[in-house]
Amino acid sequence: MIITLTNQKGGCGKSTATMNLALGTAAMNYKTALIDTDEQKSCLETLEEYPKSNLSIYDGGDDVDTLVAELKDDFHFIFIDTPPHSHHIMYKAMAVADFIIIPLQASPLDIRSAKRTIDACHKVQKEAGRDIPCYFLLNRVNPRTNLSKEIGAYIRELYTVPLLQSRLHNRVAYAQSLMHGKSVIEHNRSSDAAMEVKKLLKEVHRIFQKERKKKD
What are residue 80's phi and psi, to 5 degrees?
-120, 120
In the bound complex, what is the minimum distance in angstroms from residue 100's beta carbon to ligand ATP? 14
In the bound complex, what is the minimum distance in angstroms from residue 85's beta carbon to ligand ATP? 8
Query: Cβ closer to ligand ATP: 141 or 155?
Result: 141
Among 33, 99, 140, 163, binds ligand ATP (CB under 6 A): 140
140 sits near Mg ion (criterion: CB under 5 A): no
Binding mask 89-128 for ligand ATP (x = CB under 6 A): ----------------------------------------
Binding mask 152-171 for ligand ATP (x = CB under 6 A): ----------------x-xx
In the bound complex, what is the minimum distance in angstroms from residue 197's beta carbon to ligand ATP? 10
Sign of CA dihedral 24, 26, 28, 31: positive
Query: Cβ closer to ligand ATP: 112 or 210?
Result: 112
Q: Order of strands, edge to edge, in the sheet holding 99-105?
A: 55-59, 32-36, 77-81, 2-5, 99-105, 134-139
What are residue 94's phi and psi, to 5 degrees?
-75, -40
In the bound complex, what is the minimum distance in angstroms from residue 168's beta carbon to Mg ion? 14
Query: Cβ closer to ligand ATP: 84 or 152?
Result: 84
Binding-site ranges for Mg ion (CB under 5 A) = 14-15, 42
Which residues contact ligand ATP by CB under 6 A?
10-16, 38, 40, 42, 84, 139-140, 168, 170-171, 174-175
